[in-house]
Amino acid sequence: MKYKELVSQMTLEEKASLMSGANFWNTKPVERLGIPGMMLTDGPHGLRKQGGKADHLGLNKSIPATCYPTAACLANTWDEALLEEMGQHLGLEAASEGVSVLLGPGVNIKRNPLCGRNFEYFSEDPYLAGKMAAALIRGIQSNGISACVKHYAANSQELRRMSNDSVVDERTLREIYLPAFEMAVKEGGVKCLMTSYNRVNGIYAHEHPHLLRDILYGEWGFDGVVVSDWGGNNDRVESLRQGGTLEMPSSNGQTDRHIVEAVRSGQLDESVLDEQVDRLLDLIFSSQPHITGKIYDRDTHHAVAGKVAEKCAVLLKNEDNILPLTKQQQIAVIGDFARVPRYQGAGSSKINPTKLDCALDALKAIGANVSGFAPGFRRGGKEDPTLIHQACNLARNADVVLLWLGLDEGGEAEGIDRENMRLPGNQIALLHALAEVNSNIVVVLSCGCAVEMSWDAQAKAVIHGYLGGQAGAPAMAKLLLGEGNFCGKLSETVPLCYEDISSAPYYPGREATSEYREGLYVGYRYFDTAGKEVKYPFGHGLSYTSFEYSDLRVDDAQVSFRIRNTGSVAGEEIAQLYIHPKTEGTFRPAQELKGFVKVSLAPGEEQDVSIELNDRSFAAWSIRENNWIIESGSYELRIGASSRDIRLTAEVRKDGTSSNLYEGEVFAPYYSGQVQCVSDESFAALLGHPIPNPKWDRSAPIGFNDTLSQGQYLSAGLGKHIYNLISFIRKLFFAMGKKELGNNVMFVMNLPWRGLARMSGVITDEQVLALLSMVNREKGGFLKLLKHTFKKQ
């Protein structure tokens, strides 16, 4: 222990008090011993420090801060140095505001494109997600504060996220859902980790012995602090025993008392508490911001946000080389997003930007010949013939139509998943109408996720801008006019339709569990193994120039090759290494990303580049050995411009093991990759145990960890009335056009009953249990509530 002497001077009550927040964002000080409190603040892509009333959903405004591109956008850069630079600026803002812990980045895998929080996450691929996260963390922590990687682990849906049980086999957990966290720890050196709300195989993440004690602290050697997501603590004593250091926000002292009582009764060894107090003290003292009050230059940070955004945008299609545009062409700018930008998501990551540019103004500022603007549609509204007619009149006489389409602010948000992958119908109707009067249409997408694009045949060019932050508009204008060059590449696959997604039949888990039946086959791993066509493949992205690959060389430590810019303008290329196992043992995806390199080249310039190889490049997780193993056999090394544009190949042979733990017809779906119809028998065999019941027990009383939404199944009583009231409020907000507020009501709907105590810091566990007595129509419930309310007072 680093602070053994200091810990020995603390009373039991003081030690317990450090294990939960003082309020929504701060930890408690111990002033007599010189132990300060510290501030933790939201911030995956910007600082969300709330100066007034605090909340977890972005309802109340925060102080102005630079809004950088979101993680889904950042991952398209495939640029570790750039993310580290951005992290340095982001960390500087946090440190200047006295923030010790910046809550981000999020590295959950994009298992399914409907997850409402995908805009906050990097990729469907764990290697890419881990590399991007580690770089951002190094940048943030260069300012002496701490980043906080989240949400650990297997948190892939927003629906009932605080009670849902992610049922996933060990190998899939190890190969898909944990590596990005491992890289954040080992390569990023992250000092703080946030657990997720959900259960993982029956146990809440914040008290999970396998995830915390065995893997995080044991195998990875993590020496930092584990903090709960806000209101995510279940059993405080058990979480402390398993390595859950800090509970946030404040519990108003009630879980501190649980700790004290457990130590005094012998239920909890005080040495366990001391260990976690020591970890927290180390974070407090090592993450004190030493530049509090320093004024950072907002214009400089805005410029950095623009520099990053320029590298994020992905040119998906450029038919007839319609792009770049010239300043002589008459350009009709259409789409409400061009005037009122969609630049970030909703929820706890919502930033109050220091300034905000829109595309319409940015195009004019750069000298584009904008002939006019028409909104074309209303966000969240129905098809409007008048707006469409106005847009068509403008487009008819233009040389080129720049059409901004996307999802509205309520379409992607924390706490709620998307209902489908489609763009709103009124926007598609607008595109169809515009195509009748002008064939030169360039679509710019403003959304933080993949969408169905069957409509792209009516556009000569398609750009996915994702959510580019406060300076995304001028960055896009530069790219459109050729003053910059596209270099972003997709960090997720764009399927032909949602039904093609491997997890589509199983997503979301609507009641007790979320079944990861597709196993390893997430994103391109599924599409490439099952041999399915896609709209735009993982790693795809066009440029205004072209690149030639040659001279592949392989040794034990690296893959080397040459890239040449064969076009007429400077550009950056992202070359990707995929490994295709030809072994005959266990099932494996057809290919997996194991490295990448980004290079900037002038016209005609060529450069030798290399990508490192190590044992993990070829390894699979063995549930028998409980370790990574290399199977004997041949492996094809594939160098590509995308997962489906392979330019160079070479084959190597590796000596290793030859055991196979997946024998029998029951595992056939996992060998073929045809995982959309996995039987109960096959999934149970993969898990190694029976499948938990995915349904709620409707005959059982409503419990402490059941959700408020389960009140819908009650025939009458308080629980039913509460559910009906919440449902009415949500419908009312939607009817008023307040979609974001309606989505926030869903957060309440999916809240477990314990959340009334854990999130409020005002209501006690005993009061919640008394309320549940009333919900379950037990005798004396109201008297219990009065008793505990009077006792509390």
> Which residues are catalytic, by number?
229
Amino acid at 34: G
- Report the b/e string of 395-416 with b at 16+ CB within 10 A: beebebbbbbbbbbbbbbbbbb
Q: How far apart are CA 137 and CA 148, in angstroms?
A: 8
The residues that bridge with 592 in the sheet, in sequence order, are 579
CA distances from 792 to 236, 259, 766, 787 (A): 20, 19, 10, 9
Residue 588 three-state SS: coil
In sequence order, what E strands does 177-286 have?
192-195, 199-200, 203-204, 225-227
Of 146, 172, 153, 125, nearest to 211 (Cα)? 153
| Residue in 457, 535, 465 with CA at minimum distance from that of residue 498 | 535
Q: How far is CA 193 from CA 15, 71, 120, in A?
A: 21, 17, 16
Return all residues near 481 (Cβ < 8 A) that are at least 6 apart. Answer: 324, 325, 326, 327, 363, 366, 367, 368
Sign of CA dihedral 647, 650, 656, 661: positive
In sequence order, the β-bridge partners of residue 42 are 48, 103
- Helix, strand and coil percent figures for the chain, each rounded to 5: 35, 20, 45
Residues 6+ apart with CB under 8 A from 744: 57, 59, 415
Report the alpha-carbon distance of residue 370 to residue 358 in Å, rounded.
14
Partner residues linked to 195 by β-bridges: 152
Radius of gyration of the chain from its Cα atoms, rounded to whole angstroms: 27
Q: Report residue 77 as tokens.
A: 């850069």
Cβ atoms 554, 652 nearer than 8 A: yes
CA separation for the pair 439, 301 (Å, rounded): 39
- Give the tokens for residue 324: 């770049």
DSSP helix/strand/coil, 389: helix
Nearest residue to 43 (alpha-carbon basis) of 183, 138, 149: 149
- Rounded to 5°, angle at Cα 355 from 349 and 359: 95
Q: Which long-range contacts (CB under 8 A, 24 or more apart) does 712-719 make?
A: 714/775, 716/777, 717/774, 717/775, 717/776, 717/777, 718/771, 718/774, 718/775, 719/775, 719/776
